[in-house]
Amino acid sequence: MKKLMIAVACAGIVSGCVAGGMREAWRGFKGDSTKILLDTRPDAVTREFSCAHNDCGKKIEDSLKDMNAYVYAREGELTAVYVSVNDTTPVGIFVSDTGAEKTKIEVSSPSSFARDALSQKLFSSLDSKLKAKKIEVQLDAVEGGH
């Protein structure tokens, strides 16, 4: 009985490992794998912004729409996009909360050109959106004081 339980446990572990590998292989075949984005994360272009995690996340989504980037997967802190509907170069955007109204954004891709181009557009867009918000907050404070 004990041997049977050990054999069943081993079979479950092996099948789980195989299924995970098969799942990623299938995703690679379909073209929506995020593994390469995780693998290239150490070479990501990184920047920290002064905004809350959720607020930055919304602004990133808005910026991606403005850039016509195509979001094909969301997994935890990763948003995986194609540069556009016509250009299926994958780019990963990792958004992590670094504490008190600070958010770290990392942009990775197997293509350094796509990584650099998208990160430049994204960071510039976020700078504009955050500056606009700051001006609105200051204006509200001035108007509220009168």
pTM for the whole thing?
0.72
For residue 53, pLDDT over 70 is answered with yes
Residues in the chain: 146
Instruction: Give the containing element (helix H, strand E) for 23.
Output: helix 2-30
Query: Mean pLDDT, the chain, as a whole number?
Result: 80
State the pairing for strand pair 90-99/78-82. antiparallel
Return the higher-pLDDT residue of 93 and 88: 93
Question: Residue ranges of the alpha helices (H) in 31-111?
Answer: 35-39, 53-66
d(CA 132, CA 114): 27
Cβ-based burial of 139 (10 A; exposed 0-12, middle 13-18, buried ≥19): exposed
